[in-house]
């Protein structure tokens, strides 16, 4: 029997699958949880995800007065809404996600407010962005990078579409440096999240994948190095909530 080519495999939680299979299964996860996604975010994080996104928005300092902004893995548009309060007069706002169902719900949710009328919703793969080089002044991504099959390709694409002087802010679950905190976090992630998923979203498996995908995601220092290898300069990061979440920042020179 032929053995699988491990070089062509990637992670889906704790499983090793083909890149095409990961893309298919990640899409299925978010199709499954889309209708309860916002409620589950509040329950899982005890509302802290709003603080984390607010912290990102407070660091968003585009180099131009009327910037072009791209939000990747935009989901139901929470970060677009938060950024709109921090950057009130953008030249362009694009909310992009690979999952159509999430975008549809985001467009419906934000479409009720007049100040979001200028948001463009674009279904796109972060590894192959349909935008010209040097288009945006700010690219953001909240809780999406760990779901990307080839993270290095997505980082390279973010760098490509940024203008010189532009910045990226990437918010993601990470690895607490404290072992006691990590143990408590593991206990919560693997015992509580799947139960919440079963009770609220009627899908324990998707939230088990969430916990596993966090453990597979690069730690703070590794992601910083990956961003530097993609071409970003002055890369730094901020640990939030004892390192459960980290915000990475980088610039295109």
Average pLDDT of adjacent 10-residue blocks, the chain of 253 residues = 58 87 83 81 91 97 92 95 92 94 89 77 96 98 95 98 98 96 93 86 84 92 98 98 97 97
Helix axes 204-216, 19-33, angle to 10 degrees: 130
Dist. CA 125–CA 75, nearest whole Å:
13
* Partners of 94 in beta bridges: 70, 120
Helix (H, G, I), strand (E, B) or coil at 130: coil
| Annotated domain spans of the chain | 6-251
pLDDT at 112: 65
Which of left, alpha, beta for 145 (phi over 0: left; psi -120 to 50: alpha)? Answer: alpha
Q: Using CB atoms within 10 A of its CB, is residue 175 exposed (0-12), middle (13-18) or buried (19+)?
A: buried
pLDDT at 24: 86
Helix (H, G, I), strand (E, B) or coil at 33: helix
- Output the CA torsion sign for 84, 86, 88, 92: negative
Dist. CA 71–CA 197, nearest whole Å:
26
Dist. CA 17–CA 6, nearest whole Å:
9
153 neighbors 127 (Cβ within 8 angstroms): yes
Q: How far is CA 56 from CA 49, 60, 172, in A?
A: 11, 6, 11
pLDDT at 205: 86
pLDDT at 114: 63
Q: Closest Cα to residue 82, out of 56, 105, 61? A: 56
pLDDT at 7: 55
Q: Which residue has the tokens 């677009």?
A: 80
CATH superfamily, with its number, for domain 6-251: Vaccinia Virus protein VP39 (3.40.50.150)
């Amino acid at each position: 029997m032929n053995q699988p080519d491990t070089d062509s495999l990637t992670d889906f939680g704790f499983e090793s699958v083909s890149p095409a299979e990961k893309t298919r299964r990640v899409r299925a996860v978010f199709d499954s949880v889309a209708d309860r996604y916002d409620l589950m975010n509040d329950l899982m994080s005890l509302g802290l995800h709003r603080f984390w996104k607010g912290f990102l928005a407070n660091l968003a300092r585009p180099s131009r007065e009327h910037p072009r902004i791209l939000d990747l893995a935009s989901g139901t548009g929470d970060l677009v809404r938060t950024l709109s309060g921090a950057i009130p007069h953008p030249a362009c706002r694009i909310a992009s996600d690979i999952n159509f169902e999430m975008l549809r719900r985001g467009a419906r949710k934000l479409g009720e407010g007049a100040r979001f009328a200028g948001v463009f919703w674009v279904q796109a793969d972060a590894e192959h962005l349909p935008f010209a080089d040097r288009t945006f002044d700010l690219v953001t991504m909240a809780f999406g990078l760990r779901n990307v099959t080839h993270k290095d390709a997505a980082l390279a694409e973010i760098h490509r579409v940024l203008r010189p002087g532009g910045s990226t802010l990437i918010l993601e679950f990470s690895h607490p440096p404290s072992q006691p905190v990590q143990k408590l976090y593991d206990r919560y992630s693997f015992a509580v999240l799947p139960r919440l998923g079963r009770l609220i979203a009627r899908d324990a498996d998707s939230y088990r994948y969430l916990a596993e995908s966090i453990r597979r995601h690069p730690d703070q220092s590794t992601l910083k190095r990956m961003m530097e290898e993609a071409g970003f300069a002055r890369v730094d990061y901020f640990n939030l909530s004892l390192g459960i979440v980290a915000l990475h920042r980088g610039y295109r020179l």
